[in-house]
Amino acid sequence: MFSMDIRELLLKDAMIMDMKASTKKEAIDEMVHQYHQAGVIDDEELYKKDIIAREAQSTTGIGDGIAMPHAKDKAVKRATVMFAKSAKGIDYDALDGNPVHLFFMIAAPEGANNTHLQALAALSSLLIDPKLVAALKKAQTPDEVHQLFADAQAQKEAKEKADAAKKAKQTTVKVDNKPYVVAVTACPTGIAHTYMAEESLKKTAEAMGVDIKVETNGSEGVKHQLTADEIKRAVGVIVAADKKVEMTRFDGKPLVNRPVVDGIKKAEQLINEAVKGNAPVYHAAAGESTTEDTSANGSAWGEIYKDLMNGISHMLPFVVGGGILMALSFVIEQYFGGAKSLPFIFLNNAGNLAFAFMIPVLAGYIAESIGDRPALMPGFVGGFMATVYSGSFGGVYVANVMTGAKSSAGFLGGIAAGFIAGYLTIFLKKIFAKLPKSLEGMKPMLLYPIFGLLLVALIMFFIVNPIFSVINTWVTIFLNHMGTGNAVLLGVILGGMMSIDMGGPFNKAAYVFAVAAFTSTKNGDLMAAVMAGGMVPPFATAIATAFWPKKFTDDERKAGITNWVLGFSFITEGAIPFATADPLHVIVSCILGSAVAGGLTQWWHVSVPAPHGGLWVTPLATNPFGYIIAVVIGAIIAGVILGFWRPEKSRVK
């Protein structure tokens, strides 16, 4: 229950009662622009980018003529739900393949309070009512839309109140033959689909004569959390989720694992599977998924990439924070007091301490993504072992985060440690699944930690560290003794990779390689190439929109202005909306410019001893002038090619 009037979210001046759009892209553009006009958002491109990113995960066209695009970001000034209606219908890639007539675009600010989030959740849950949907399709004015939602909410609250009163009057425990199931719903943003799936499962279960409790993993956090007793009593479990939820608690229960949208559209099927025992029994040893369609990607590479990115995303704050503090300490050492000054010692130690955690955190969270919590500790230790000593063929164990082995396995060994720890944990879960139930409590507290650590340590000491320390040494020697020609070629490749997918696997691979080289050699040459290449796309689109404005839409020209700042800050993603709308012209132009910029940094021996920051860290560069000029030349080349090559906006597809 919440106190906020739901009509406060449905702004009348943000509604579109007769959409002009005829395609999905046009519909998003029209709704986002309407939000900007109504003062709901202050950055159209940022909000649109997040809307498109959400659509890339899975369509928000849920079927029955409804779509619910949504995003939560800093561009949103107040929580709002836009109602928009298309009389002719729009192909929005809906799950049922039918045109969409009703749109509910949800905008939530980063700092949305619980009242707003509860109201958004309640509003979302109302949209599964077919009577309300039918009435909304006939509504002609914003006032009618307001009244329909107000009536629907009043009816829902009255029913909840009556149910609560009925339950309060019960003085004895009622025993009946109703089957009891538990469920979890979750979507990536946790705003709409999470609560629609919850409502659909509850209503369908009531109609089927099934008792159900639904836990939601939404923007407010976990609500209606399932207890161990409730899980134990349930005849089956339903997980309707598009993001990771806590799964080990369901060990030994029949479990139906599906995307969140199935909780909305196929609630009866899911409940039947859970009740009739058709679902496979979930065992923690099987890892995260129990059915083939659990993963959005479904491919082995998709899973590996997800696991690697989980480690990298947790590692990056250590890299960025530690790297920049270390770089600042070198400036202080050179210009403000030398190596014995207190500011240098403080900043250098703080940066080194952060760097010391980098590889253990990387390995730990790769392992955790694969094998869940039991894999975290062996992953951390395996990553630490990759940092501090080489292994059975040499090296001395020094348990001091400030002292690394001369031939440690390093970054590559840390990645290997993470995957080894993760898959070993899954193996151990399968082995220990055969133990008696009476020993269940020993697994997480005794068996997994001891055997997980023992096996990972053995593999790291006798296999991984000896092998990867040699590989890491070869890479370090190659980078340190690389001639100018080879350095330029490598700079060209890394710079170009930054623009291939602008934040995707190629971009991340180039960045991770540069970070690995930086951490191994403390040489920032390749960081300069990667940062220069990554700054080119936003700068290029800013240049093209400024000098060829007639070839871009109003929204693109506004985004071009923003991209001056994003480019300066090494935020490549600022160019993604352009690349999405016109991939051929934008991506090819940017790859050429980024490759030139990356190569020039190596030609001019530019080194940037910081893993992030763009042009803001120019004072730290060994050749600041060369760093700036390389970026400028690459951006101009890409911007001019894009400007001349891109067709007029009326012909842009």
> How many of the other CB atoms lie within 10 Å of CB of 401?
15
First to last CA, the chain: 46
Please count the other Cβ atoms lying within 10 Å of the Cβ belonging to residue 617: 24
Measured distance CA(271)–CA(249) in Å, rounded: 19
The answer to whether 541 touches 575, Cβ cutoff 8 Å, is yes
Whether 507 and 531 have beta carbons less than 8 Å apart is answered as: no
Chain position carrying tokens 């840390």 = 414
Q: Using only C-alpha atoms, what is the Rg of the chain?
A: 28
Q: How many CB atoms lie within 10 A of CB 622?
A: 16
Rounded (10°) CA dihedral 38, 541, 607, 412? 80
Give the span between the Cα atoms of 215 and 289, in whole angstroms: 19
Q: Torsion angle, CA of 504/505/509/515, rounded to 10 degrees?
A: 40
Q: Which residues contact 2 (CB under 8 A, 6 or more apart)?
A: 115, 118, 119, 122
User: How many CA atoms, within 13 angstroms, populate the side-chain half-sphere of residue 536?
Assistant: 48
Nearest CA-CA partner of 411 in 363, 456, 379: 363
Catalytic-role residue among 36, 70, 193, 585: 70
Q: Determine whether 590 is an active site residue.
A: no
| Cβ–Cβ under 8 Å, residues 332 and 344 | yes
169 exposed, middle or buried (CB, 10 Å; 0-12, 13-18, 19+)? exposed
Cα(92)–Cα(62) distance, integer angstroms = 10
* Token pair recorded at residue 317: 């704050």
10: number of CA atoms within 13 Å, CB side? 24
Question: Cα 627 from chain centroid?
Answer: 31
Confirm if 239 and 258 have CB atoms less than 8 A apart. Answer: yes
Angle at which helices 410-432 and 300-335 pack, to 10 degrees? 140
Catalytic residue among 36, 187, 585, 612: 187
Instruction: Check if the beta carbon of residue 605 is closer than 8 Å to that of residue 528.
Output: no
Q: Return the number of other C-beta atoms located less than 10 Å from residue 301's C-beta.
A: 9
- CA nearest to 201, candidates 191, 212, 209, 192: 212
Say whether 70 is catalytic: yes
Q: Which residues are catalytic?
A: 70, 187
